[in-house]
Structure 1
C-alpha cells in the first residue's frame, strides 16, 4: 500500500466516524461501535481521534449534543425535559447539571435570560442590545471548504470533515482563518435546503481535491459585528443588524456574501466565550 492510499483510508475513517456521530445524536453512541465504524481497535482509535481533533470522542458527543440543545432552547418551545431526552440524558437533573456547567445557568433560566435575550425587542418594540459595528475594507479572501446542505446549526459536521482531512493530509496551519459562508436566508429557505460551506483561508498551493471545494470572498467594505456567546444565538445578531443597525446607518447592502469568522475554538472555549465576527457587505 502506498502512502497516498494509506492517507485516503485514514481520511475516510475519520469522515465515517464524524458523519455517524452527527447523524445519530439522538441515539446511544457506544464508543466501541464508533471504533468498529473506524475499522480499528478501540484502544488505538480513541487515541488517534484525540490526536487529530484535540478532544476525545466522548467530549465531541457531549459538545455537539449541548450545542443542539442550546439551539432547541433558543429557537423552539420544546419542553426542557423533551430536549434533555433528545440530547441523550437519562433524566432532567443530569441534563440541568451538565448544561449549567457549560453554559453558566440551567436550561430553563437560559431560555429566559441567556445571551440571546439581549437581542429581544423591548416593550417599545426596539431591541435593547446595542453593539459596536466596525466598518472594514478587506482584500479578497481565497478559501477551501467542505459544502454543507441542511440546518446552519449542523455546519459543524462539515467543519469536522474539513479539519480532519486537513490534518490527515498534513495541510493544517495555525495561520488558517476559520470561516463559514452562508448562501441562503434561514427565515425563507427550508432548513433542509440551506446551503453553506465550512472553510479555512488557503492559497492556490493547497489543491481543492474532494471533499474540498474552492470558495472566494469579494473584497470591499463590510460592516462587522463581533458577537460573543453561543453559536445558537447568532440568528438574533443577524436580525439586529438588519432591523436595527442598517436602517439608521445610512448604508446600503452590496450584492455579496455574508460570512462569519470564528476567532476561537469551540473545542477549548466555553460557549459563552466564543467570539465570532459577522461580515455584512456594503456598497
Structure 2
C-alpha cells in the first residue's frame, strides 16, 4: 500500500476514534487536549485534520448529535424543556430554542406539540410498496442501546470509510435493527450502522462484514428526522402488515438513508423503511 494511502487510512481510523469518543460522552464537552490525545495528534494540528476529514469541527459534530438526541427526548419523554436544554449542552432554554429552531425549522415546544415534522400520515398506509433488494456486502459497526443513539456509529463508520476512499456516488447507507424498542430494554437493543462495499474489502478496527441475501421487502418512505421513524414502524407493523397477507422474513428491518443529513435540514431527510418478507 502506498505511503500516502497508508497515512490517510491511519488518519481516518484515528478520527473515527474521536467520533466514537464524542458520541459516547454527549453529556460532556471534552477539551482540545483530550480529543487530540484520543486521536494521537498534536493539539496544534488536530482541529485542522478533523475538519478536513469530517467536513465540520468537533463542536459541530457534538452539536448535531446532541440536537438529534434532544429531538428524540421531546417526542419520547415528558422531561421539562429546561432539562432537555441542559442535556443538549445549552445554558438556557432560549439558547436551546434558537439552536433547535435553526436545525429543525421550528422551536422545540412546537415540535413536541406537533409530535414531530415527519411526512407519513397517521392512517395512510397506501404508500407501502414492494421492492426487491439485491444481495449486498456491507461494512458494519455494531451499536447496542437506544436506536436514536446510533448516529455515533454512523459517524465513526463514515470517518473510516471516507479515509479508505470507499464512499462514492454508488455507496448506500443502511441501518439494521433486530429488536422492538417497545418491548426490549433500551440498553439491550441490537442494531448496526452499515454501508455497501465490494466483497473482500479490508476492514478496520471494529468494522465487521455482513452479507445479506436478496430480499423481497415492503417499503415505506418517510420524510423527516430519524427520531420520528418509530411512529412509522408502528403503523407499518400494526396497520399494514396484518391487512397485507404477508409474513415477515427472518431478517432484521432495514432503513435505507436516501440523502445527506449533514447538508439538508431534518425536515428534508428521506428514509426508506424496509420490512423483509417471506417469499410468496
Q: Could you state the TM-score of these two structures normalised by the residue count of structure 1?
A: 0.89
Aligned to 2:72: 71
CA contact (8 A) 2:138 2:194 kept: yes
CA distance in 2, matches of 1:175, 1:40: 32
- Count of aligned residue pairs for this structure pair: 276
- Name the SS of the counterpart of 1:189 in structure 2: coil
Query: Is residue 54 of structure 2 the alignment partner of residue 53 of structure 1?
Result: yes
Moved over 6 A (4+): 117-120
CA distance in 2, matches of 1:235, 1:186: 9
Query: Is residue 216 of structure 2 the alignment partner of residue 221 of structure 1?
Result: yes
Query: Is residue 89 of structure 2 the alignment partner of residue 88 of structure 1?
Result: yes
Deviates more, 1:36-45 or 1:57-66: 36-45
Aligned to 1:186: 181
Structure number with the bigger relative contact order (C-alpha 8 A, sep ≥ 6) is 2
Q: How far off its partner does 1:41 sit?
A: 3.6
Q: Any residues of structure 2 matched to 1:159-170 within 5 Å, and which?
A: 159-170=154-165
Q: How far off its partner does 1:9 sit?
A: 4.7
Deviates more, 1:168-177 or 1:48-57: 168-177
Query: Is residue 275 of structure 2 the alignment partner of residue 280 of structure 1?
Result: yes
Aligned to 2:38: 37
Write out per-residue CA displacement over residues 165-188 of structure 1, whole angstroms, 9 at most, x where no aligned residue. 122233333311001111222122
Q: Any residues of structure 2 matched to 1:111-260 within 5 Å, and which?
A: 111-115=112-116, 127-130=122-125, 132-260=127-255
CA contact (8 A) 2:65 2:152 kept: no
Deviates more, 1:128-137 or 1:105-114: 128-137
Q: How far off its partner does 1:129 sit?
A: 4.5
Q: CA RMSD in A?
A: 2.3
Aligned to 1:109: 110
CA contact (8 A) 2:24 2:152 kept: no
- Name the SS of the counterpart of 1:246 in structure 2: helix
CA distance in 1, matches of 2:66, 2:126: 29
CA distance in 1, matches of 2:200, 2:96: 46
Q: Could you state the TM-score of these two structures normalised by the residue count of structure 2?
A: 0.89
CA contact (8 A) 1:31 1:57 kept: no
Q: How far off its partner does 1:281 sit?
A: 1.3
Q: How far off its partner does 1:131 sit?
A: 5.2
CA distance in 2, matches of 1:53, 1:151: 24
Deviates more, 1:128-137 or 1:254-263: 128-137
Decide whether aligned partners of structure 1 residues 131 and 268 sit closer, same or farther in structure 2, where only a CA change above 3 A counts: farther
CA distance in 1, matches of 2:242, 2:117: 21
Aligned to 1:24: 25
CA distance in 2, matches of 1:68, 1:93: 18
Decide whether aligned partners of structure 1 residues 131 and 57 sit closer, same or farther in structure 2, where only a CA change above 3 A counts: farther
CA distance in 2, matches of 1:30, 1:130: 48
Deviates more, 1:271-280 or 1:240-249: 240-249
Q: How far off its partner does 1:162 sit?
A: 1.2
CA distance in 2, matches of 1:91, 1:129: 39
- Name the SS of the counterpart of 1:40 in structure 2: coil
- Name the SS of the counterpart of 2:179 in structure 1: coil
Gaps of 5+ in 1: 121-126
Q: How far off its partner does 1:114 sit?
A: 4.0
Decide whether aligned partners of structure 1 residues 139 and 232 sit closer, same or farther in structure 2, where only a CA change above 3 A counts: same
CA contact (8 A) 1:131 1:225 kept: no
